[in-house]
């Protein structure tokens, strides 16, 4: 899980968002473990974690990593959960790791936005500096990374639950399909 936010946050809204997203993460992992019959090692990376957050995660056997270590544990057999992290960071994970299952920000929408709106503003958009991490870090590199990721993947909307949890609204799920 990348960019959960803090569970021990003073803001109730933010800690609740982090907690709901963690619930979803653990639930999906449970489904994958049941379907595969395999134990899945969990990792989390979030620069803002407090010691209490790390203690909480350790109680679920989640290994906490420091940026950029999480990039190296993502591979084509990974379930990557990136709930609303900075878009350049998200694309770095998608490009480098090519995860078979990803839940997070809407990549099609991001690509569309990059293609139609942000060209002029992109250079000034804040986020993690990844200039040397995806090609030259130009808008074209990011667009290509998004296009490559979308190729051969199915996109689904994460359904809204009856509990109406805002922190889960708008999440997309991408599933890598085997070629026919």
Chain centroid offset of residue 116 CA: 23
Measured from the CB atom, the residue of 3 and 99 that comes closer to ligand SAM is 3
Q: Minimal distance in Å, beta carbon 174 to ligand SAM?
A: 17
Of 134, 21, 30, the residue nearest 88 (C-alpha):
134
Measured from the CB atom, the residue of 36 and 157 that comes closer to ligand SAM is 157
Measured from the CB atom, the residue of 5 and 97 that comes closer to ligand SAM is 5
Rounded Cα–Cα distance for residues 62 and 2 (Å): 12
Measured from the CB atom, the residue of 13 and 177 that comes closer to ligand SAM is 13
Residues that bind ligand SAM (CB under 6 A): 2-5, 17-18, 21, 45-48, 67, 83-86, 89, 128, 167
Q: Is 65 helix (H, G, I), strand (E, B) or coil?
A: strand
Are 6 and 49 within 8 A, CB to CB? yes
Q: Minimal distance in Å, beta carbon 46 to ligand SAM?
A: 5
Q: Minimal distance in Å, beta carbon 21 to ligand SAM?
A: 5
Phi-psi map region of 164: left, alpha, beta (phi>0 left; psi -120 to 50 alpha): left
Beta strands in 13-83 (DSSP E): 42-45, 62-65, 79-82
- On the 0-12 / 13-18 / 19+ scale of CB atoms within 10 A, 72 is exposed
Q: Minimal distance in Å, beta carbon 64 to ligand SAM?
A: 11
Strand partners, 101: 79, 175
Q: Minimal distance in Å, beta carbon 82 to ligand SAM?
A: 8
Measured from the CB atom, the residue of 111 and 167 that comes closer to ligand SAM is 167
Q: Minimal distance in Å, beta carbon 104 to ligand SAM?
A: 9
- C-beta nearest to ligand SAM: residue: 3
Measured from the CB atom, the residue of 36 and 161 that comes closer to ligand SAM is 161
């Amino acid at each position: 899980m990348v960019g959960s936010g803090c569970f021990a946050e003073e803001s109730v809204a933010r800690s609740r968002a982090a907690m709901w997203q963690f619930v979803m993460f653990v639930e999906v992992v449970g489904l994958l473990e049941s379907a595969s019959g395999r134990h899945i090692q969990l990792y989390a990376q979030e620069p803002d974690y407090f010691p209490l957050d790390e203690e909480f995660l350790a109680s679920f056997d989640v290994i906490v990593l420091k940026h950029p270590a999480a990039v190296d544990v993502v591979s084509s057999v990974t379930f990557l959960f990136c709930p609303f992290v900075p878009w350049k960071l998200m694309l770095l994970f998608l490009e480098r790791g090519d995860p078979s299952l990803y839940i997070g920000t809407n990549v099609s929408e991001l690509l569309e936005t990059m293609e139609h709106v942000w060209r002029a503003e992109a250079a000034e958009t804040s986020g993690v500096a990844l200039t040397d991490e995806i090609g030259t870090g130009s808008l074209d590199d990011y667009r290509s990374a998004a296009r490559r990721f979308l190729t051969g993947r199915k996109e689904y909307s994460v359904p809204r639950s009856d509990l109406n949890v805002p922190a889960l609204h708008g999440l997309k799920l991408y599933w890598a399909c085997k070629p026919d």
